[in-house]
Structure 1
Amino acid sequence: MTSSPVAPALALPSPEGREGWAVVTVGLAGLGILLVGLDLDVYLGLTAGALLVGAFLPLWLSSVRGSRWTVAVFVLLAACLVADVALSAWMSDSRVFSRVAFFESVFLLVSLAFGIGWILWARKLMPDWGIGVLFGLGLLLSVNPGSELFPVSPWKFGFALPVTILVLALAMRVRSRWVEVIALLGLAGVSALSSARSGAAVLLLVLVLVVWQSMKRPTTSRGAALRTVLLVGTLAVGTYFALQAAILDGAMGDEARERTLMQLDTSGSLIAGGRPELGATTALMGAQPAGFGGGTMPSMHDLQIAKSGMAGLGYDPNNGYVENYLFGAGIELHSVVGDLWAWYGLAGLVLAVVLAVFFVSRVAMLATARSASALVLFLGVKAVWDLMFSPAESALTTLVLGVALLAPVAARAPRPAAKLSVQAG
């Protein structure tokens, strides 16, 4: 298999007598990436990375204009902020307002915007694989062995995402499809042995796409990209059923097999049985289409609506899960789509749709052109999964890196005095 074609290199300007400033700039960019990945909470979701990036707002803000996609995302993030304030104020007449939940929802938008903008700027200064390594190191340093779920499965609830990003970023540096295939096989194997069903499925789908890229000629036509979307959808469905069959045969151990059987018996579907929060989301959307606002604490009536939606999927909601997790400190619907809608109303729902279209279309276009690394494919596929099935707070880091690395970046001609170069796009 061959490596993907490399776009012309961008050059870091280093005018005579200013080489030291160029090094400082790259170092600052790297520190910001590391802190964004580290996700070190300073106050109610406001991170050390967001504080650093915010201090240098004029330095990176213009980088957002490099793509219509990123412009659209930033406009929608601003609309979500306005909607959050308006909805929280409006709902405070009938429900309890939580200052903590409100600031957490606001700072999530800030972290998403600042992280994307900073990495877009950093892509002009360093290679994408280097950004992936630094971001992955930040994630690795943020792993908390003292968390409640870490002892259950250290890989699944701790090391899976940072190690995957690190390994695939290093494989991207080598620029060999064979290295990416071996890396993906190893990561998928570890995920399967750790009962990380969704993680293994995502990695296997990425593996198939990497191999598929090496077997076709590159093209940039929209028709070919559309066919790739259909192919990816078909592969996703095939991977889902193949993995389900393997789990039921005991390929991922007895614990995963029993959990899968229970979820299938509950709802007749692994997805519905494993994510009963989907029932709560659809029920609440029907009852309160405008959303709630990030600072709104749900009422008992809202709780009963959510429970009825979950019960409709065959799930027994009377076990404390709804009261303690979903509605314990605000509204948490265990999906980026659900959370964005609940906290930011229709603006959040539009943002979720735009993000979904962005990831699907960019993965299709890059894969069709045979220019998608395993890291980029993983981030795109993982982001689509997270939009449907992961809480917004836990999916934030993947969304930041995914949007920033999948967004098209305008190439600039290299300058003769350049000391460092970077792969574009």
Structure 2
Amino acid sequence: MELVAILTCVHVLTTTSRMPHSKRFAQLYGSGYPRLLLVALLFWLVATIVSDLVNDTATMNAVKGVARVAALAALVVAVLYFVKARPQRILALWWGMAFGQLGSLVVQPGSYFSGEPWKFGFAIPVTTIAFLLASTKLRRFDIAIALGLAALNFALEMRSMAVVCLIAALALLVRRRRAAGSGSLRLALVFVVGVAGTLGIVTLFDTLATSGYFGESARVRSSTQAEGEFGALLTGRSETGFSLRSIAERPVVGVGSYGEPSRDVIEAQAQTLAESGYTTVAEQALNGEWRSFHSELFGAVAENGVLAAGFWIVVTVLFVRGLMDVVGARAAFPQILAFVCALGIWDVLFSPFGADRKFWVAASLVTVLALRAQPSDVLRLKQSKDEN
């Protein structure tokens, strides 16, 4: 199976190496990013194979490690070819993904769905649908929709999605002010106020959660995360500290696909947390079962070494540039693009690269490549031709 996965990835890379010479792909994507992404995936694949050989990774984990890179490469190419030069297909793609996720909750809900149905079920598809509506039928209300989604997610205890919606709302607000002719000073003021407001709302959420406003489970979780001297800054995503220590210990080859930090790393980071006042989190780390590094970027490097970082760095650059194009009023469908980029940056830093994320990552990358490649008026012209 490892050989099949490797050959699949090599075939994908070989096929896609001709894409930049196609006039239609050059017109749509306007850059060498597709090839760069696939070359970075090749480096990740090589890093995975070397890491698993050096660490003597269990056969099944090694197979899964190679297959996830090959599968992601194949999905990126598949979505690139599906979208082609028809931007309207991007919206169709996200509509399909949103309703597909809703359908999966009926057919096969996840193990955490019954306990927290919004966070582990409805949040992403419902938020996606709302941003799709804001991209088409309800463009005049896009900022209000993004702010409303942030409030909804805060109320339903999904802080990460709320922050993503706030970032998207801020990008759309700066974009609107820029389009209205606001000067640089005013735009900077809007940005600073928006960032301060976002941080203030997050702080308010933590305060309300700790006081029990969102229920007992949220109170216990928030109190545990905020018991140290830095509040929830260190423990909102406590896996980050373990990831960085593990990378520092084995930067070249990592711990192997689906591996976990060494006992020395766990004990050292637990001691650091305890010294900062996070005794409960430290005890959980020492006595609990390791689940994942909980970051697409840090997880890839911690598992497979520094060569695995290239792909996720390129991905992050793409998402940041996508947000910049939203702010600069240079992108079509800026509402869905702002949401995809904000969520993409969050996931790169704070979400694990699970099985359900492969197609999402591929769709997100192609969305950014397509929507930031041409001015809005060109895309609207193409959309009009497609509809006729």
Bin the TM-score by the shorter chain: 0.7 to 0.9
Alpha-carbon distance in structure 1 between the residues aligned to 2:237 and 2:263? 17
Matched, 1:86 2:86: no
In structure 1, the partner of 2:343 is: 382
Give deviations 1:126-178, integer Å, cap 9, x for gaps: 51322211222233333365432111111100111122222322331226131
Change in CA separation of 1:113 and 1:229 when aligned onto 2, cut-off 3 Å:
farther
Q: Is the 8 A contact 1:136 1:162 kept in 2?
A: yes
What's the offset of the Cα at 1:318? 4.7
Alpha-carbon distance in structure 1 between the residues aligned to 2:358 and 2:151? 25
TM-score (ref. length: structure 1): 0.71
Amino acid in structure 2 at the alignment position of 1:85: I
Q: Is the 8 A contact 2:211 2:219 kept in 1?
A: yes
Give deviations 1:103-136, integer Å, cap 9, x for gaps: 2222222332233333333332351322211222
What's the offset of the Cα at 1:410? 5.7
Q: Is the 8 A contact 1:213 1:367 kept in 2?
A: yes
Alpha-carbon distance in structure 2 between the residues aligned to 1:203 and 1:168? 9
In structure 1, the partner of 2:247 is: 285
Where 1:215 maps in the other structure, the secondary structure is: helix
Give deviations 1:20-47, integer Å, cap 9, x for gaps: xxxxxxxxxxxxxxxxxxxxxxx99x99
Residue correspondence of structure 1 range 208-247 to structure 2 within 5 A: 208-217=170-179, 237-245=199-207, 247=209
Between the aligned residues of both structures, percent identity stands at 19
Change in CA separation of 1:254 and 1:227 when aligned onto 2, cut-off 3 Å:
same
Residue correspondence of structure 1 range 176-195 to structure 2 within 5 A: 176-178=139-141, 180-195=142-157
In structure 2, the partner of 1:391 is: 352
Residue correspondence of structure 1 range 285-364 to structure 2 within 5 A: 285-292=247-254, 294-295=256-257, 297=259, 302-313=262-273, 314=278, 316-319=281-284, 324-326=289-291, 332-364=292-324
In structure 2, the partner of 1:420 is: 386
What's the offset of the Cα at 1:85? 0.7
Aligned length: 360
Q: Is the 8 A contact 2:294 2:350 kept in 1?
A: yes
Alpha-carbon distance in structure 2 between the residues aligned to 1:401 and 1:383? 11
In structure 2, the partner of 1:152 is: 115
Q: Is the 8 A contact 2:65 2:258 kept in 1?
A: no
Worse overlay, 333-342 or 288-297:
288-297
Give deviations 1:219-276, integer Å, cap 9, x for gaps: 9xx9999999988766654554354345456664454344223211146231312222
The root-mean-square deviation of aligned C-alpha atoms, in Å, is: 4.1
**Which runs of no fewer than 5 residues in structure 2 stay unpaired?**
none
**Which runs of no fewer than 5 residues in structure 1 stay unpaired?**
1-42, 327-331
Q: Is the 8 A contact 2:330 2:374 kept in 1?
A: no
The counterpart of 1:275, out of the listed 226, 237, 248, is 237
Residue correspondence of structure 1 range 62-81 to structure 2 within 5 A: 63=25, 66-81=30-45
Q: Is the 8 A contact 2:52 2:256 kept in 1?
A: yes
Change in CA separation of 1:190 and 1:234 when aligned onto 2, cut-off 3 Å:
closer
TM-score (ref. length: structure 2): 0.76
Between structures 1 and 2, the one with greater helix share: 2
Change in CA separation of 1:203 and 1:240 when aligned onto 2, cut-off 3 Å:
same
Give deviations 1:286-313, integer Å, cap 9, x for gaps: 21111326447458xx133234214412
Q: Is the 8 A contact 1:205 1:235 kept in 2?
A: no
